[in-house]
Amino acid sequence: MEFITVKGLKKDYIVYEKKNLFRRNKRKIEALKEIDFTVKKGEFLGYVGPNGAGKSTTIKILTGIMTPSDGIVKVDGYIPYRDRKKYVRNIGVVFGQKTQMWWDLPVIDTYELLRGIYKVDEKKYKKQLEYLVDKLFLQDILKQPVRQLSLGQRMRAELGACMIHDPDILFLDEPTIGLDVVSKHRVVDFLQEINKKGKTIFLTTHDMKDIEKLCNEMLVLNHGDIVYKGKVEELKTIGKLPIKIVAQMKRNGYNDLFMEIISQHSGTYDDQKSQLVLNLKNKKEISEIAKILFNNFDIDDFSVQEPSIEEVIKTIYTS
Ligand SMILES: Nc1ncnc2c1ncn2[C@@H]1O[C@H](COP(=O)(O)OP(=O)(O)OP(=O)(O)O)[C@@H](O)[C@H]1O
Protein backbone atom coordinates (compact mmCIF):
# COMPACT_ATOMS: atom_id res chain seq x y z
CA MET A 1 0.00 0.00 0.00
CA GLU A 2 1.31 3.42 -0.92
CA PHE A 3 1.70 5.63 2.09
CA ILE A 4 3.52 8.60 0.63
CA THR A 5 2.89 9.72 -2.94
CA VAL A 6 4.93 12.51 -4.47
CA LYS A 7 4.25 13.48 -8.09
CA GLY A 8 5.84 16.29 -10.09
CA LEU A 9 6.92 17.97 -6.86
CA LYS A 10 8.60 21.27 -7.58
CA LYS A 11 10.00 23.93 -5.30
CA ASP A 12 11.60 27.14 -6.47
CA TYR A 13 13.11 29.73 -4.18
CA ILE A 14 13.40 33.29 -5.36
CA VAL A 15 16.43 35.10 -4.05
CA TYR A 16 17.35 38.73 -4.54
CA GLU A 17 20.96 39.62 -4.99
CA LYS A 18 22.27 43.14 -4.73
CA LYS A 19 23.65 44.33 -8.06
CA ASN A 20 24.53 47.85 -7.04
CA LEU A 21 23.20 50.52 -4.72
CA PHE A 22 19.89 50.86 -6.58
CA ARG A 23 19.30 47.56 -8.31
CA ARG A 24 18.95 43.97 -7.29
CA ASN A 25 18.88 40.85 -9.40
CA LYS A 26 16.12 38.32 -9.00
CA ARG A 27 17.33 34.73 -9.19
CA LYS A 28 15.38 31.49 -9.15
CA ILE A 29 16.81 28.47 -7.36
CA GLU A 30 15.23 25.19 -8.45
CA ALA A 31 15.53 23.23 -5.20
CA LEU A 32 13.27 20.39 -6.40
CA LYS A 33 12.76 19.77 -10.11
CA GLU A 34 9.48 17.86 -10.47
CA ILE A 35 10.36 14.78 -8.47
CA ASP A 36 8.23 11.62 -8.26
CA PHE A 37 8.42 8.86 -5.69
CA THR A 38 6.28 6.65 -3.48
CA VAL A 39 6.87 5.12 -0.08
CA LYS A 40 5.03 2.03 1.13
CA LYS A 41 3.62 1.54 4.62
CA GLY A 42 6.26 0.06 6.88
CA GLU A 43 9.13 1.07 4.61
CA PHE A 44 12.38 2.32 6.15
CA LEU A 45 13.58 4.81 3.59
CA GLY A 46 17.02 6.36 3.53
CA TYR A 47 17.04 9.79 1.90
CA VAL A 48 20.50 10.92 0.90
CA GLY A 49 22.17 13.53 -1.25
CA PRO A 50 25.03 16.02 -1.07
CA ASN A 51 24.64 19.40 0.66
CA GLY A 52 22.12 21.56 -1.14
CA ALA A 53 20.52 18.63 -2.99
CA GLY A 54 17.04 19.52 -1.70
CA LYS A 55 16.58 17.03 1.17
CA SER A 56 15.47 19.56 3.80
CA THR A 57 13.14 21.20 1.30
CA THR A 58 11.50 17.80 0.68
CA ILE A 59 11.13 17.12 4.41
CA LYS A 60 9.69 20.58 5.04
CA ILE A 61 7.06 19.96 2.36
CA LEU A 62 6.31 16.41 3.54
CA THR A 63 5.85 17.58 7.12
CA GLY A 64 3.58 20.44 6.08
CA ILE A 65 5.87 23.32 7.07
CA MET A 66 6.30 24.45 3.48
CA THR A 67 4.07 24.72 0.41
CA PRO A 68 5.41 23.37 -2.89
CA SER A 69 5.59 25.51 -6.04
CA ASP A 70 3.86 22.73 -7.96
CA GLY A 71 3.01 19.03 -7.83
CA ILE A 72 1.11 16.57 -5.68
CA VAL A 73 2.06 15.41 -2.18
CA LYS A 74 -0.05 12.98 -0.22
CA VAL A 75 0.83 11.24 3.02
CA ASP A 76 -1.63 8.71 4.39
CA GLY A 77 -4.41 10.47 2.51
CA TYR A 78 -3.50 13.95 3.78
CA ILE A 79 -2.09 16.87 1.84
CA PRO A 80 0.46 17.95 4.47
CA TYR A 81 0.54 21.74 3.97
CA ARG A 82 -3.26 21.95 3.58
CA ASP A 83 -4.45 19.50 6.26
CA ARG A 84 -1.70 20.46 8.66
CA LYS A 85 -3.71 20.44 11.89
CA LYS A 86 -5.09 16.93 11.50
CA TYR A 87 -2.02 15.67 9.71
CA VAL A 88 0.51 16.41 12.49
CA ARG A 89 -1.27 13.94 14.77
CA ASN A 90 -0.17 11.22 12.41
CA ILE A 91 3.50 12.09 12.14
CA GLY A 92 6.56 12.43 14.32
CA VAL A 93 9.40 14.74 13.35
CA VAL A 94 12.97 15.06 14.59
CA PHE A 95 15.42 17.59 13.20
CA GLY A 96 18.80 16.53 14.56
CA GLN A 97 20.13 20.08 14.65
CA LYS A 98 17.10 21.64 16.34
CA THR A 99 15.07 20.79 19.40
CA GLN A 100 11.32 20.53 19.64
CA MET A 101 11.58 20.38 23.42
CA TRP A 102 11.24 23.17 25.96
CA TRP A 103 14.84 24.02 26.77
CA ASP A 104 14.39 24.96 30.43
CA LEU A 105 11.85 22.30 31.36
CA PRO A 106 12.53 18.76 32.51
CA VAL A 107 12.00 16.17 29.77
CA ILE A 108 8.89 14.79 31.44
CA ASP A 109 7.24 18.26 31.40
CA THR A 110 7.72 18.48 27.63
CA TYR A 111 6.17 15.05 27.32
CA GLU A 112 3.17 16.15 29.42
CA LEU A 113 2.76 19.25 27.30
CA LEU A 114 2.88 17.20 24.11
CA ARG A 115 0.35 14.80 25.58
CA GLY A 116 -1.99 17.76 26.00
CA ILE A 117 -1.32 19.15 22.52
CA TYR A 118 -1.99 15.79 20.88
CA LYS A 119 -4.84 14.96 23.26
CA VAL A 120 -3.47 11.51 24.12
CA ASP A 121 -5.63 9.85 26.78
CA GLU A 122 -4.07 9.22 30.19
CA LYS A 123 -3.99 5.43 30.00
CA LYS A 124 -2.48 5.32 26.55
CA TYR A 125 0.08 7.96 27.52
CA LYS A 126 1.20 6.03 30.59
CA LYS A 127 1.70 2.87 28.57
CA GLN A 128 3.53 4.67 25.81
CA LEU A 129 5.75 6.52 28.30
CA GLU A 130 6.67 3.26 29.99
CA TYR A 131 7.56 1.74 26.64
CA LEU A 132 9.66 4.74 25.58
CA VAL A 133 11.50 4.99 28.91
CA ASP A 134 12.40 1.32 28.63
CA LYS A 135 13.47 1.29 24.98
CA LEU A 136 15.24 4.66 24.96
CA PHE A 137 16.84 4.39 28.42
CA LEU A 138 15.17 7.58 29.61
CA GLN A 139 14.74 6.82 33.33
CA ASP A 140 17.69 8.89 34.54
CA ILE A 141 17.04 11.89 32.36
CA LEU A 142 13.27 12.35 32.64
CA LYS A 143 13.60 14.90 35.44
CA GLN A 144 16.52 16.81 33.94
CA PRO A 145 16.04 20.07 32.07
CA VAL A 146 16.72 19.62 28.37
CA ARG A 147 19.53 22.19 28.40
CA GLN A 148 21.54 19.98 30.79
CA LEU A 149 21.42 16.90 28.57
CA SER A 150 24.31 15.62 26.50
CA LEU A 151 23.69 15.40 22.76
CA GLY A 152 23.12 11.63 22.97
CA GLN A 153 20.69 11.98 25.86
CA ARG A 154 18.87 14.81 24.13
CA MET A 155 18.48 12.83 20.93
CA ARG A 156 16.93 9.92 22.84
CA ALA A 157 14.61 12.36 24.59
CA GLU A 158 13.70 13.94 21.21
CA LEU A 159 12.82 10.53 19.79
CA GLY A 160 10.66 9.92 22.83
CA ALA A 161 8.97 13.29 22.30
CA CYS A 162 8.12 12.58 18.69
CA MET A 163 6.60 9.23 19.71
CA ILE A 164 4.34 10.43 22.58
CA HIS A 165 1.26 10.39 20.32
CA ASP A 166 2.35 7.09 18.72
CA PRO A 167 2.39 8.36 15.11
CA ASP A 168 2.41 6.02 12.10
CA ILE A 169 5.21 7.78 10.29
CA LEU A 170 8.44 9.40 11.40
CA PHE A 171 10.50 11.99 9.55
CA LEU A 172 14.00 12.04 10.96
CA ASP A 173 16.58 14.53 9.74
CA GLU A 174 20.11 13.49 10.80
CA PRO A 175 19.09 11.91 14.13
CA THR A 176 22.51 10.34 14.70
CA ILE A 177 24.67 13.33 13.81
CA GLY A 178 27.49 13.87 16.29
CA LEU A 179 26.50 10.99 18.57
CA ASP A 180 29.02 8.78 20.35
CA VAL A 181 29.05 5.05 19.63
CA VAL A 182 26.85 4.00 22.58
CA SER A 183 24.18 6.65 22.00
CA LYS A 184 24.17 5.86 18.33
CA HIS A 185 23.64 2.17 19.02
CA ARG A 186 20.68 2.96 21.24
CA VAL A 187 19.10 5.22 18.63
CA VAL A 188 19.72 2.74 15.82
CA ASP A 189 18.33 -0.19 17.86
CA PHE A 190 15.25 1.83 18.75
CA LEU A 191 14.58 2.78 15.13
CA GLN A 192 14.97 -0.84 14.07
CA GLU A 193 12.52 -1.92 16.76
CA ILE A 194 9.78 0.56 15.89
CA ASN A 195 10.14 -0.15 12.18
CA LYS A 196 9.62 -3.85 12.92
CA LYS A 197 6.47 -2.84 14.76
CA GLY A 198 5.19 -1.26 11.55
CA LYS A 199 6.23 2.39 11.68
CA THR A 200 7.13 3.96 8.36
CA ILE A 201 10.40 5.86 8.66
CA PHE A 202 11.79 8.56 6.38
CA LEU A 203 15.41 9.05 7.39
CA THR A 204 17.75 11.72 6.10
CA THR A 205 21.39 11.12 6.86
CA HIS A 206 24.90 11.48 5.55
CA ASP A 207 25.89 8.29 7.34
CA MET A 208 25.89 5.43 4.86
CA LYS A 209 26.55 2.87 7.60
CA ASP A 210 23.23 3.84 9.21
CA ILE A 211 21.55 3.47 5.84
CA GLU A 212 23.04 0.01 5.27
CA LYS A 213 22.07 -1.12 8.73
CA LEU A 214 18.57 0.32 8.87
CA CYS A 215 17.00 1.02 5.53
CA ASN A 216 15.48 -1.34 3.03
CA GLU A 217 14.79 1.34 0.43
CA MET A 218 16.84 4.29 -0.61
CA LEU A 219 16.28 7.54 -2.42
CA VAL A 220 19.24 9.48 -3.75
CA LEU A 221 18.79 13.14 -4.64
CA ASN A 222 21.22 15.34 -6.54
CA HIS A 223 20.66 18.97 -7.60
CA GLY A 224 16.91 18.64 -7.04
CA ASP A 225 16.56 15.47 -9.11
CA ILE A 226 16.09 11.88 -7.98
CA VAL A 227 18.99 9.86 -9.28
CA TYR A 228 18.09 6.56 -7.59
CA LYS A 229 15.08 5.01 -5.87
CA GLY A 230 15.18 1.34 -5.02
CA LYS A 231 16.68 -1.29 -2.78
CA VAL A 232 19.82 -0.37 -0.87
CA GLU A 233 21.53 -3.57 -2.04
CA GLU A 234 20.72 -2.97 -5.70
CA LEU A 235 22.29 0.46 -5.65
CA LYS A 236 25.66 -1.25 -5.55
CA THR A 237 25.07 -2.89 -8.90
CA ILE A 238 24.25 0.30 -10.78
CA GLY A 239 27.34 2.19 -9.72
CA LYS A 240 29.55 0.36 -12.25
CA LEU A 241 32.30 0.14 -9.67
CA PRO A 242 34.27 -3.10 -9.82
CA ILE A 243 34.14 -5.86 -7.26
CA LYS A 244 37.67 -6.44 -6.04
CA ILE A 245 39.17 -9.85 -5.48
CA VAL A 246 42.28 -10.00 -3.35
CA ALA A 247 44.22 -13.26 -3.41
CA GLN A 248 47.20 -13.87 -1.18
CA MET A 249 49.54 -16.30 -2.97
CA LYS A 250 51.83 -18.76 -1.17
CA ARG A 251 54.48 -18.14 -3.76
CA ASN A 252 54.82 -16.05 -6.86
CA GLY A 253 53.30 -18.01 -9.67
CA TYR A 254 53.91 -16.25 -12.91
CA ASN A 255 52.88 -18.23 -15.97
CA ASP A 256 50.84 -17.55 -19.09
CA LEU A 257 47.54 -18.30 -17.37
CA PHE A 258 48.43 -15.96 -14.51
CA MET A 259 49.29 -13.13 -16.88
CA GLU A 260 46.10 -13.76 -18.86
CA ILE A 261 43.93 -13.54 -15.73
CA ILE A 262 45.59 -10.27 -14.76
CA SER A 263 45.08 -8.71 -18.15
CA GLN A 264 41.48 -9.95 -18.48
CA HIS A 265 40.43 -8.50 -15.17
CA SER A 266 42.45 -5.27 -15.09
CA GLY A 267 44.43 -6.75 -12.22
CA THR A 268 47.68 -5.96 -10.51
CA TYR A 269 50.23 -8.13 -8.78
CA ASP A 270 52.40 -6.98 -5.90
CA ASP A 271 55.58 -9.02 -6.05
CA GLN A 272 56.75 -8.24 -2.56
CA LYS A 273 53.48 -9.00 -0.83
CA SER A 274 52.66 -11.86 -3.24
CA GLN A 275 49.25 -10.29 -3.55
CA LEU A 276 46.99 -10.43 -6.57
CA VAL A 277 44.16 -7.92 -7.00
CA LEU A 278 41.53 -8.42 -9.71
CA ASN A 279 38.66 -6.13 -10.68
CA LEU A 280 35.46 -7.94 -11.65
CA LYS A 281 32.50 -6.37 -13.42
CA ASN A 282 29.86 -8.47 -11.72
CA LYS A 283 29.26 -10.98 -8.95
CA LYS A 284 28.74 -13.87 -11.35
CA GLU A 285 32.45 -13.91 -12.21
CA ILE A 286 33.54 -14.51 -8.62
CA SER A 287 33.03 -18.28 -8.43
CA GLU A 288 34.57 -18.86 -11.86
CA ILE A 289 37.71 -16.88 -10.99
CA ALA A 290 37.95 -18.53 -7.58
CA LYS A 291 37.84 -21.95 -9.21
CA ILE A 292 40.60 -21.08 -11.71
CA LEU A 293 42.83 -19.58 -9.02
CA PHE A 294 42.44 -22.41 -6.51
CA ASN A 295 42.89 -25.10 -9.18
CA ASN A 296 46.03 -23.62 -10.67
CA PHE A 297 47.85 -21.72 -7.93
CA ASP A 298 48.77 -21.97 -4.26
CA ILE A 299 46.39 -19.55 -2.55
CA ASP A 300 46.74 -18.66 1.11
CA ASP A 301 43.86 -16.27 1.43
CA PHE A 302 41.06 -15.10 -0.82
CA SER A 303 38.68 -12.23 -0.20
CA VAL A 304 35.97 -10.37 -2.10
CA GLN A 305 35.51 -6.63 -1.57
CA GLU A 306 32.32 -5.11 -2.87
CA PRO A 307 32.25 -1.34 -3.35
CA SER A 308 30.76 0.47 -0.37
CA ILE A 309 27.53 2.41 -0.79
CA GLU A 310 29.51 5.54 -0.06
CA GLU A 311 31.79 4.89 -3.04
CA VAL A 312 28.85 4.08 -5.31
CA ILE A 313 27.00 7.24 -4.32
CA LYS A 314 30.09 9.35 -4.88
CA THR A 315 30.26 8.09 -8.46
CA ILE A 316 26.55 8.84 -8.94
CA TYR A 317 26.96 12.41 -7.67
CA THR A 318 29.89 13.08 -9.93
CA SER A 319 28.66 11.35 -13.10
N1 LIG B 1 14.87 29.60 2.29
C2 LIG B 1 15.62 29.47 1.19
N3 LIG B 1 15.78 30.53 0.36
C4 LIG B 1 16.53 30.41 -0.76
N5 LIG B 1 17.18 29.29 -1.14
C6 LIG B 1 17.06 28.22 -0.35
C7 LIG B 1 16.28 28.25 0.87
N8 LIG B 1 16.34 27.03 1.46
C9 LIG B 1 17.13 26.25 0.65
N10 LIG B 1 17.56 26.96 -0.42
C11 LIG B 1 18.40 26.46 -1.53
O12 LIG B 1 17.73 25.35 -2.10
C13 LIG B 1 18.65 24.30 -2.42
C14 LIG B 1 18.27 23.02 -1.65
O15 LIG B 1 18.46 23.25 -0.26
P16 LIG B 1 18.13 22.18 0.89
O17 LIG B 1 18.36 22.87 2.20
O18 LIG B 1 16.81 21.59 0.64
O19 LIG B 1 19.26 21.10 0.63
P20 LIG B 1 19.75 19.86 1.55
O21 LIG B 1 19.88 18.69 0.64
O22 LIG B 1 18.87 19.73 2.72
O23 LIG B 1 21.19 20.33 2.02
P24 LIG B 1 22.01 20.00 3.42
O25 LIG B 1 22.46 18.58 3.34
O26 LIG B 1 23.15 20.98 3.34
O27 LIG B 1 21.06 20.29 4.54
C28 LIG B 1 20.02 24.85 -2.08
O29 LIG B 1 20.58 25.39 -3.25
C30 LIG B 1 19.74 25.94 -1.05
O31 LIG B 1 20.72 26.95 -1.11
**CATH number of the domain that 307 lies in?**
3.30.70
Domain enclosing residue 143, as ranges:
2-237
What integer is the mean pLDDT of 207-234? 89
Between CA 97 and CA 59 the distance in angstroms is 14
Same domain, 125 and 35: yes
Same domain, 276 and 164: no
Same domain, 101 and 157: yes
Same domain, 24 and 161: yes
Same domain, 265 and 194: no
Return the best residue to mutate from 55, 67, 203, 207 for the ligand 1 pocket (most ligand atoms within 8 A of CB). 55
CA of 54 to the centre of ligand 1 (A): 6
pLDDT tens digits along 62-76: 999 999 999 999 999
pLDDT at 239: 61
Same domain, 232 and 244: no
Between CA 70 and CA 274 the distance in angstroms is 60
* Pocket residues: Cβ below 6 A from ligand 1: 13, 15, 29, 31, 49, 51-57
CA of 57 to the centre of ligand 1 (A): 6
Q: Which among 179, 200, 16, 205 has a CA at the least distance from the CA of 95?
A: 205
For ligand 1, atom 16, the nearest C-alpha belongs to 54
Same domain, 230 and 247: no
Confirm if 246 and 303 have CB atoms less than 8 A apart: yes
Q: Residue 294: helix, strand or coil by DSSP?
A: helix
Report how far apart the first and last C-alpha atoms of the chain are (Å, whole number).
Answer: 33
Which pLDDT band holds residue 233 (cuts at 50, 70, 90)? confident
Between CA 287 and CA 275 the distance in angstroms is 19
pLDDT tens digits along 26-43: 889 999 999 999 999 999
Confirm if 3 and 41 have CB atoms less than 8 A apart: yes
